[in-house]
């Protein structure tokens, strides 16, 4: 299944941005717009389980990296060679792309993550737990989800960031 991407600028993309955990491609839009003024074209990815991309039954960094590589090969062809920028979780994905698909990566920029388990990853565990405890079958709107999440996440800005990936499904409940 194709990943959701957004093209910023015109011409052949030379930059690819991968967001962090709980983020989405548009988190990079401001930077990509500025780079477009200097004639750089960027692709902003929504990684699986984020934004407008598909949802998966399991989480696997290798699978994420291979999906991004497949999309780059599909849209840019055998001459694909980009400057790859990854933040946090996207940085881990970017590192794996560079290792598994080196022909795709001209330059690699990894922001705010290390290749091992970090304190940042450990601090995300309570946020994941709080989101998993949301009763999605009975919530009918984002306000209700925000109120439920407020029991475990004090900061309204953090809650709004986490809820940006919540999708309304046409069947009962939120997704």
- Please compute the mean of the pLDDT values over residues 136-162 and round it to a whole number: 88
The domain that holds 82 is classified in CATH as 3.40.50.1820
pLDDT for 40 beyond 80: yes
Task: Classify residue 1 by its DSSP letter.
Answer: -
Same domain, 37 and 90: yes
Instruction: Out of 111, 127, 153, pick the residue that ends a domain.
Output: 111
Which pLDDT band holds residue 18 (cuts at 50, 70, 90)?
Answer: very high
Which of 9-13, 77-81, 113-117: highest mean pLDDT?
9-13
pLDDT for 33 beyond 90: yes
Assess contact for 132 and 148: CB atoms under 8 A: no
pLDDT for 133 beyond 90: no
In a domain, 29, yes or no: yes
Which pLDDT band holds residue 26 (cuts at 50, 70, 90)?
Answer: very high
User: Percentage of the chain with pLDDT > 70?
Assistant: 90
What is the tally of helices (H) and strands (E) in the chain?
A: 6, 5
Same domain, 151 and 76: no
- b/e per residue 74-106 (b: at least 16 CB within 10 A): eebeeebebbbbbbbbbbbbbbbbbeebeebbe
Which pLDDT band holds residue 129 (cuts at 50, 70, 90)?
Answer: confident
Same domain, 155 and 123: yes
In a domain, 174, yes or no: no
- Please compute the mean of the pLDDT values over residues 108-126 and round it to a whole number: 74
Query: 157 lies in which domain range?
Result: 119-163
Same domain, 96 and 141: no
Residue-wise pLDDT tens digits, 54-110: 989 888 999 999 999 999 999 888 778 999 999 999 999 999 999 999 999 999 999
Q: Report the run of H or E that residue 150 belongs to, with start and end.
A: none
């Amino acid at each position: 299944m194709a990943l959701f991407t957004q093209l910023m600028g015109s011409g052949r993309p030379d930059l690819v941005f991968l967001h962090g955990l709980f983020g989405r491609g548009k988190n990079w839009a401001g930077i990509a717009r500025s780079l477009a003024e200097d004639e750089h074209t960027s692709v902003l990815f929504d990684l699986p389980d984020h934004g407008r991309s598909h949802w998966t039954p399991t989480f696997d960094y290798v699978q994420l990296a291979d999906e991004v590589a497949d999309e780059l090969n599909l849209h840019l062809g055998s001459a694909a060679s980009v400057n790859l920028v990854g933040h946090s979780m996207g940085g881990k994905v970017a590192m794996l792309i560079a290792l598994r698909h080196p022909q795709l990566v001209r330059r690699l920029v990894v922001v705010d993550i290390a290749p091992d388990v970090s304190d940042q990853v450990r601090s995300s565990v309570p946020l994941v737990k709080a989101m998993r405890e949301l009763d999605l079958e009975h919530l009918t709107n984002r306000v209700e989800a925000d109120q439920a999440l407020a029991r475990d996440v004090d900061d309204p800005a953090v809650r709004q960031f986490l809820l940006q990936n919540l999708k309304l499904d046409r069947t009962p409940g939120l997704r």
